[in-house]
Amino acid sequence: MKIVNEKKPSNVWGSVDDILEQISAKYQTFAPRQRKVAEYLFHNLDQAILLNSTQIAAKAEVSQATVTRFITGLGFSGFSKFKRSIAQKLLENFSTSTRLVESAKALEGRTSVFTDILREDIENIGSLSSHISEETFEEAVNKLCSARTIYILGLRSSYALAFYFAFDLRFFLSSVRLIDLGVGDIPERLRNAGPPDVLVAISFKRYTREVIKITEKIKKKGVFILGITNSELSPIAQLSDTALIAETRIPAYFESFTAPMSLLNALITAIAIKERKKALPALNNLEKEFQVFETFAQ
């Protein structure tokens, strides 16, 4: 798994995001018991600051020595220095206004915001292959192609990704349903969901509570969960049977969806190739309908 910000020592992290990104980036390098510490801290960082190392060990169900090794692995000389560092960062919050101030500071003095943002997006796209193996990608494609029904879920800014994915998949697959909150009819829409189906849950920080709740409920029905998210430690990744990781971080007050969009394009293309025999007649019929309704300008 690609380690981001590897040139920046852990004890000079600039924000809460830096702490969480570092824990997420190094997750695969930790021993199994240290991963339990990582998972606890990732989801409970604000609570962990009130605990000592023994209490954190109890919460994570590991030994105190494991917590110490984990903290050392992040670059700190001891637990007290780790606590002081995160205490200072937790005085900040995850609000959009705070992120705007932070991004302005990060970009201040740079010669070209245009070039810098493009460079960050290129790095995010490049990291896809380090997060997602060919085998994992192929498994996702096969699951989508063999599903009875594909449910696609993404809210707030992630809804744009969900809509795009659903719109294009409908050209190649017969039963694709985009979930939105609508008029509160989610139970009716999902009442027939079961093991032959797949839920594509798209969620990036700040993680939307409703997406997590719906994913939890549909998972209990035996539906295969394909998560598309920014970290293996995100709530959706933890709920997923297969998680596809796409980084979204740029020095701005919002997340960049360039890498997630590239991932969706790869999935759509692979599915189109795999399902081309069934897709071609459907596309030909669709072209005829376009002509009948004069859909496009001449």
Provide the residue-wise pLDDT of the chain in tens; the chain has 298 residues: 333 333 344 444 556 667 777 788 788 888 999 999 998 888 888 778 778 899 899 999 999 999 999 988 888 888 888 887 777 666 544 555 555 565 566 556 666 788 888 988 999 999 999 899 999 999 999 999 999 999 999 999 999 999 999 999 998 888 999 998 765 678 888 989 999 999 999 999 878 889 999 999 999 999 999 999 998 888 899 899 999 999 998 776 678 999 999 999 999 999 999 998 887 887 888 888 888 888 888 7
Q: CB neighbours (10 Å) of residue 74?
A: 19
What does the alpha-carbon distance between residue 162 and residue 178 come to, in Å, rounded to a whole number?
A: 7
What is the location of CATH 3.40.50.10490 in the chain?
125-293
> What pTM value is reported for the model?
0.71
As given in the structure block, the two tokens for residue 211 are 């997406």
CB of 175 closer than 8 Å to CB of 150: yes
Burial 206-234 (b: 16+ CB within 10 A, else e): ebbeebbebbeebbeeebbbbbbbbbbbb
> Which fold would CATH assign to domain 125-293?
Rossmann fold (3.40.50)
What is the location of CATH 1.10.10.10 in the chain?
10-89
Neighbouring-strand partners of residue 202: 228
CATH class of segment(s) 10-89: mainly alpha
Dump the DSSP string for 37-99. HHHHHHHHHHHHTTS-HHHHHHHHTS-HHHHHHHHHHTT-SSHHHHHHHHHHHTTS---HHHH
CB of 189 closer than 8 Å to CB of 177: yes
Dump the DSSP string for 141-184. HHHHHH-S-EEEE--TTHHHHHHHHHHHHTTT-S-EEEE--TTS
As given in the structure block, the two tokens for residue 87 are 């205490």
The pLDDT of residue 186: 83
Rg (CA), the chain: 21
Angular region, 182: left φ>0, alpha ψ -120 to 50, beta rest: left
* DSSP percent split of the chain into helix, strand, coil, nearest 5: 60, 10, 35
The pLDDT of residue 2: 35
- Cα 165 to its chain centre, rounded Å, is 15
The pLDDT of residue 99: 57
The pLDDT of residue 219: 96
As given in the structure block, the two tokens for residue 284 are 């030909």
